[in-house]
């Protein structure tokens, strides 16, 4: 099965959704070729709106369409959606609890050569801090499509974080995505790895190598960051006694912080966080950047071993 970027799957899912629902409209901020909303624009030109390089207007127009009974999907790069669009998202989308879906692509350092100005490593933290906002991060193309079809049925603000780089397929066509539920991909009792987005595949690969050394690790795909699945986190803390979180995002305010909140209040165990350690990104090839910032199978393995050693 070939690798597919979640942004590619998003573009295809929108077209499928558009065939089924006439109330779905799509907006973009002059980046439709990159966000892949251009596919929807070609198929449904009267239901697509290019707002130009004006992200606040992009979100504001989506709000207006939502109040008129449409289901707007607003897209641009994650840096601009959550950065330039923050005030409108807070005051015009989430405060009145409007049914707007913000699907931002090119998140994280895997944007690559575009560099720090375009590499959003703060977007999850920003979005999960806003009341009424649901925050989702699919790990592959299958989950992306299932997620898009699920959020159209959900009434309320949603932020979906999508990537530029192609990623391996993890789920089959029979997978059922559910908002607010983590998925256990591999079982184990020595430690738990909780990952999201493109780091889920790395977590799986790390667990396989650890298995060869006699270390059995539970792996969870936490594609819903908010509302997070407290039940599976607490269960994992009790069963394994140590957790390693892995995300292509700052260690401040993202998946690791959300998991730590749950653990500290319900069943305190060691949580080690792998992510961007309070620094900006830089220009480079995606693979080089992942290695530079420790988003690798090797680092996951080392952190798991450290966590197991500490709990003992």
Break the chain into its structural domains and give their ranges.
4-167, 183-311
pLDDT bracket for residue 112 (50, 70, 90): confident
Task: Give pLDDT, residue 289.
Answer: 94
Q: Which two tokens stand for residue 168?
A: 């391996």
Which of 144, 156, 180 lies closest to 258 in space, CA to CA?
180
Q: Is the pLDDT of residue 222 over 80?
A: yes
Size of the chain, expressed as the number of residues it contains? 312
pLDDT score of 260 more than 70? yes
Binning pLDDT at 50, 70 and 90, where does residue 280 land? very high
CB burial class (10 A; 0-12, 13-18, 19+) of residue 180?
middle
Residues 6+ positions from 7 with CB-CB distance below 8 Å: 34, 35, 36, 105, 106, 162, 163, 164
Domain 4-167: homologous superfamily in CATH: Thiamin diphosphate (ThDP)-binding fold, Pyr/PP domains (3.40.50.970)
Model confidence at 113: pLDDT above 90: no
Q: What is the reported pLDDT for 114?
A: 86
Quick one: average pLDDT of 293-302?
A: 97
Q: Is domain 183-311 annotated with CATH 3.40.50.920? A: yes
Q: In this predicted structure, what is the pLDDT of residue 2?
A: 80
Strand order in the sheet with 217-221: 183-186, 217-221, 191-195, 242-250, 270-276
Average pLDDT, the chain: 96
Report the percent of the chain where pLDDT is more than 70.
Answer: 99
Are 4-167 and 183-311 equal in CATH topology? yes
Q: pLDDT value at position 1? A: 61
Candidates 55, 122, 143, 202; catalytic one: 55
Cα three-residue angle 14-102-40, rounded to 5 degrees: 25
Which has the higher per-residue pLDDT, 113 or 60?
A: 60
- 46, 72, 190, 262 from 203: Cα distances, Å: 42, 34, 15, 21
Least confidently predicted of 133-137, 194-198, 253-257, 308-312 = 308-312
Active site residue 55: yes
Average pLDDT over residues 202-227: 97
pLDDT digits (tens, 9 = 90+) for 40-59: 999 999 999 999 999 999 99
- Residue 118: the pLDDT is 93
């Amino acid at each position: 099965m070939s690798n597919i970027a979640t942004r590619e799957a998003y573009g295809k899912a929108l077209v499928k959704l558009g065939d089924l629902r006439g109330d779905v409209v799509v907006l973009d901020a002059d980046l439709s070729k990159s966000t892949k909303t251009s596919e929807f624009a070609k198929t449904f030109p009267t239901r697509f709106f290019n707002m130009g390089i004006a992200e606040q207007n992009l979100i504001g127009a989506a709000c207006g369409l939502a109040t008129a009974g449409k289901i707007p999907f607003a897209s641009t790069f994650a840096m601009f959606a959550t950065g330039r669009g923050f005030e409108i998202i807070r005051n015009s989308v989430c405060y009145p609890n409007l049914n707007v879906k913000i699907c931002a692509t090119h998140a994280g350092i895997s944007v690559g050569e575009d560099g720090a100005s375009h590499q959003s490593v703060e977007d999850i933290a920003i979005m999960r801090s806003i009341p009424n906002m649901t925050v989702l991060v699919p790990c592959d193309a299958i989950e992306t499509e299932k997620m898009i079809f699920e959020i159209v049925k959900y009434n309320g603000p949603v932020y979906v974080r999508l990537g530029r780089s192609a990623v391996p397929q993890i789920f089959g066509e029979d997978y059922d995505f559910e908002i607010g539920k983590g998925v256990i991909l591999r079982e184990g009792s020595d430690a738990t790895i909780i990952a999201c987005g493109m780091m889920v595949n790395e977590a799986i690969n790390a667990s396989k190598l650890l298995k060869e050394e006699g270390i059995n690790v539970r792996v969870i795909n936490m594609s819903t960051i908010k509302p997070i699945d407290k039940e599976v986190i607490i269960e994992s803390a009790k069963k394994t006694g140590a957790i390693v979180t892995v995300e292509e995002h700052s260690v401040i305010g993202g998946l690791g912080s959300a998991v730590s909140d749950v653990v500290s209040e319900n069943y305190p165990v060691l949580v080690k966080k792998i992510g961007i350690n309070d620094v900006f990104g830089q220009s480079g090839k995606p693979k080089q950047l992942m290695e530079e910032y420790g988003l690798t199978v090797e680092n996951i393995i080392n952190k798991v071993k450290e966590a197991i050693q500490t709990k003992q």
